[in-house]
Amino acid sequence: MRVARLARLKIADGEIANYQAGLAEILTLVAQMDDCDTDGVAPLAQPQDIALRLRDDQVTETNERERLQSSAPQVEDGLYLVPRVVE
């Protein structure tokens, strides 16, 4: 499934058919959108429909690297560890 790769989600071979069936059913439901005429309608991204508030570009948080990294599965010398990327 291409979409599973895009979503970085491993779907086992035995489960693919089941997910495909589920997605097909949801897309059938979603296709009911076609009954609604949207010609000339502007999209609405969020209910307030206003530009989000901006703040001054100033440091407002303290550095809490250790505390934030304490929930990471694997950390060393303040860095997150992942499998080797570059040989």
Q: Does 85 bind another protein (CB under 8 A)?
A: yes
If you compute the radius of gyration of the chain from its CA atoms, what whole number of angstroms results?
A: 22
Which residues, numbered 62-81, are part of the site for another protein (CB under 8 A)?
64, 67-74, 80
Size of the site for another protein (CB under 8 A): 50
85: Cα separation from own chain's centroid:
23
Residue 22 · residue 28 · CB < 8 Å = no
Q: What minimum distance in Å lies between the beta carbon of 61 and another protein?
A: 10
Residue 78 · residue 65 · CB < 8 Å = yes
Which residues, numbered 21-60, are part of the site for another protein (CB under 8 A)?
22-23, 25-27, 29-33, 35-36, 38, 41-48, 52-53, 55
